[in-house]
Copies of this chain bind each other. A is one copy, B any other.
Amino acid sequence: MKQIFIIGAGYVANTLIHYLSENSNKFDWQIKVGDLNFELAKSKVANKLNTHAIQFDVMNDAQCKKEIDACDVVISLLPAKMHHIPAKYCLENNSHLITASYVSKEIKAFDQAAKEKGLLFMSEMGLDPGIDHMVIMKMIAEIEEKGAEITGLRSFTGGLIADESDTNPWRYKFTWAPRNVVLAGQGTAQYKKNNKLKFVPYKRLFSLYDAINIDGFGNFEAYANRDSLSYMPKYGLENIPTFIRGTLRKQGFCDSWNALVQLGLTDDSFPIIGSQNHRWNNLIDFFLPDEGAADKKTLVQRLSNFLDVEEDNKIIKKIDWLGILDATPITLKDATPAQILQSLLEDKWKLEESDKDLIVMSHIFDYQLDGKEYKLQSDLAYVGKNANDTGMGRLVGMPLALMAKHLLIGNVTLRGVQIPIDASIYNPVIKDLEAYGVHFNDTLKEV
Contact = CB atoms under 8 A, between A and B. Distances in A.
Interface of A: 187-188, 190, 193-194, 196-201, 203-204, 208, 227, 229-230, 262, 264, 267, 269-270, 272-273, 278, 282, 285-287, 289-290, 295, 337
- A-B pairs, top 7 by smallest CB distance, nearest first, are A201-B264, A203-B203, A197-B286, A187-B269, A199-B286, A199-B287, A188-B270
Contact of A286 (B198, B262, B264): B198
A290 to B, nearest CB: 6
Contact of A198 (B187, B200, B290): B290
A194 B269 CA distance: 24
Given A188-B267, A193-B290, A273 B199 contact: no
A337 B199 contact: yes
B188 A264 contact: yes
B196 A264 contact: no
Contacts of A200: 264
16 contacts: A187-B269, A187-B270, A188-B264, A190-B270, A194-B295, A197-B272, A197-B286, A199-B267, A200-B264, A201-B264, A201-B267, A203-B203, A203-B262, A204-B289, A208-B289, A208-B290
Nearest to A295: B194
B270 A227 contact: yes
A240 to B, nearest CB: 15
Given A267-B201, A290-B193, A273 B229 contact: yes
A387 B199 CA distance: 37
A308 to B, nearest CB: 12
A288 to B, nearest CB: 9
Contacts of A197: 272, 278, 282, 286
A267 B337 CA distance: 22
Nearest to A287: B199
A227 B336 CA distance: 14
Nearest to A187: B269
Pick from A201, A290, A295 the residue with the most CB of B within 10 Å.
Answer: A201
A197 B200 CA distance: 30
Contacts of A208: 289-290
Given A203-B203, A269-B187, A196 B286 contact: yes
Contacts of A282: 196-197
A364 to B, nearest CB: 16
Contacts of A290: 193-194, 196, 198, 208
Contacts of A204: 289
B196 A285 contact: yes
A413 B229 CA distance: 58
A65 B393 CA distance: 55
A203 B287 CA distance: 12
A124 to B, nearest CB: 19
Nearest to A266: B201
Contacts of A264: 188, 199-201
Nearest to A288: B198
A290 B200 CA distance: 10
Nearest to A264: B201
A107 B273 CA distance: 21
A37 to B, nearest CB: 31
A282 B199 CA distance: 12
A170 to B, nearest CB: 22
A11 to B, nearest CB: 31
A190 B283 CA distance: 13
Nearest to A201: B264
A197 B193 CA distance: 42
A282 B198 CA distance: 10
Contacts of A295: 194
